[in-house]
Structure 1
Amino acid sequence: MNELEFRLSDYAPIAVMFMVAGGFAASQILATQLVGPKKRTKTKLSPYECGKDPVGSARERFSVKFYSVAVDFLLFDLEVLFLIPFAVAFRELMTSGFREFGVPAYVAVMTFIAMVIIGFAYAWKKGTFDWSVQARAEARAEAKTLAVEEKQKRRLSTTTGKVVAPVSVATQATIPATSRV
């Protein structure tokens, strides 16, 4: 019998382990539901948030930068997930009688690593990891919006003759010098 021949019976202990683990989890959930107390209080039904009362809605908007960092993390995490088993398999491949498959496997993995490095460089160049660049861009956009609002207030005050709230020094700093009255 060939040493590398696939036998399904070799995987039976793994299947038994999964069945025992699943059965144990299901039995614990069932036992808790049957035996546990059923008092529902306001405190028990409220969400627990790091020892503090939750503030605001859980459905608020998050900045896209959080999602892009999460996706980048997943990509680099998957890279490690592929590289560690490859390192072990490559070592065995080179020490066994299959050395002719070593060079193509090495080239394939180096191509994979190069693609990951290019992706990392692209994300770096786009500013995914530099949050201060995005914060500055957001601050500029907000300053521009405030400047437009102040300009509209001034126009309104000159056309109606009514005095609108005075412009603060902080707001004046955000208004371009050409648009100041």
Structure 2
Amino acid sequence: MLSVSLMIFISLFLGVILLTLAWVLGNRSISGRSKSSPFECGFDPKDSARVPFSMRFFLLAILFLIFDVEVVLLFPSVLSLEMGISMWNLMASFLFLIILLLGLFHEWNQGSLTWVS
């Protein structure tokens, strides 16, 4: 019991010493205007909040997310090929891929994939 209480006392004492040392040696600088302003991902926060946003970039980002989720949804069907090919799993995977390809061709025909108009 004495050794446990001694270890607790030593660890608390060491923790207080380290906290005090960090507080004393820590960098205390007066924050300037640029340090206290919020970071706005490259936009100047003093300007208007209604900055025009590229809709093509937004659509391309959404397409990336959709096809990223597609990979996650197709991964179990690829893993099931090791166990044996089931006709239902194969048909469901092909149907899923066909729907995604039709969506990709539709986006291509609409012009959402062209970066420069």
How big is the shift at 1:110? 0.4
1:85 corresponds, among 76, 79, 86, to 76
TM-score, L = length of structure 2: 0.61
TM-score, L = length of structure 1: 0.42
Q: Which has the higher contact order (CA 8 A, sep 6+)?
A: 2
Residues 17-43 of structure 1 show CA distances to partners (whole Å, capped at 9, x for unaligned) of: xxxxxxxxxxxxxx9xxx786954312
Return the letter of the residue paired with 1:65.
R
Task: Kindly tell me the number of residue pairs found equivalent between the two proteins.
Answer: 92
Question: In structure 2, how many angstroms separate the alpha carbons of the residues matched to 1:91 and 1:58?
Answer: 53
Return the letter of the residue paired with 2:112.
T
How big is the shift at 1:58? 4.6
Residues 68-95 of structure 1 show CA distances to partners (whole Å, capped at 9, x for unaligned) of: 1111111111111112232113322x0x
Question: In structure 1, how many angstroms separate the alpha carbons of the residues matched to 2:32 and 2:50?
Answer: 24
Q: CA RMSD in A?
A: 3.1
2:93 paired residue number? 109
Question: In structure 1, how many angstroms separate the alpha carbons of the residues matched to 2:79 and 2:108?
Answer: 31
Structure 2 unmatched ranges of 5 or more: 1-18
Question: In structure 2, how many angstroms separate the alpha carbons of the residues matched to 1:120 and 1:114?
Answer: 10
